[in-house]
Amino acid sequence: MQLEDLNHSQLVLLAILASFITSIATGILTVSLLVNPDQNPSQVINRVVERTVEKIVPQLVVQTVTKEVPVPNTDGEKIVKTINFSSPAVVKLYLNSVDGTSLALNSGLILADQKLFLTSSSGLKDNLSYFLKTDADKKITLTWALIDKDKSIAIFRINDDSNNLAKIPVITFSKSNTTGQTVVGLGASESADNNPLSVGILLNSENASSTPNTLLRTNSANSDTLGGPVLNTANQLVGLVVKPGFVLPASSLLNLIDSLK
């Protein structure tokens, strides 16, 4: 290893080592000259330094270079991974207006493996035409599959035989949602560079007494993420934002999806 390859900590250790060796050499030289005044001081110094470096330096350098420090996997890192993984599946819902223009509505979640789109039913009417957009601004038409006003949920079938969904990640459903767990609410905007998100915790959990209409409460659900998913830090769907502060849990979503089959 070259001197220029050493980092700051290693250089400090090397300086301490040099000082240590010098101290030892000085002590041994002093004792040797007192015992045998006729010795050549330069020979004594060279011999002491050579033997000291031979015994001490290799062990110290090897320990310094090969020591590994584990990097902790923090909640922050998990949140970032969840956002990066799941974001492509969160898109805006658009309305086909009679004048040929389009109107951006709620956010929603694409279930690519089932060719379904889930969103909040807030403001939607089942007699109107809706669609999604891909990155290339290509329209993907939708067909109504279900609208449940009581649960504030709407499900569409995605009419797409191309590869538009090939890059969409497959989102799995969480089987256990507990109070206090970290969750991330994701929304979509018309500008892909400015998608809203909110990090928070679950304020309640599902239990044996929960009914199909039980909603999860979380501070990660707000008007900006309405219709979008709330996910845990394992990239699993906890539920869908149906109104600010409330999420329809994954178990209820699965029941509704199963009813379509």
Stretch 166-170: mean pLDDT: 88
State the CB neighbour count (10 A cutoff) for residue 244: 12
* Percent residues over pLDDT 90 in the chain: 50
Q: What percent of the chain has pLDDT over 70?
A: 67
Helix, strand, coil shares of the chain as percentages rounded to 5?
A: 35, 30, 40
Sequence-ordered list of residues with C-beta below 8 angstroms from that of 178, at least 6 positions apart, any chain: 202, 205
The pLDDT of 14-20, averaged and rounded, is 62
**What is the residue extent of each domain of the chain?**
3-66, 78-259
Report the CATH fold assignment for 78-259: Thrombin, subunit H (2.40.10)
> Can you give the pTM of this predicted structure?
0.70
**Residue of 192, 95, 203 lying closest to 141 (CA atoms):** 95
Return the top range by mean pLDDT from 54-68, 120-134, 225-239: 225-239
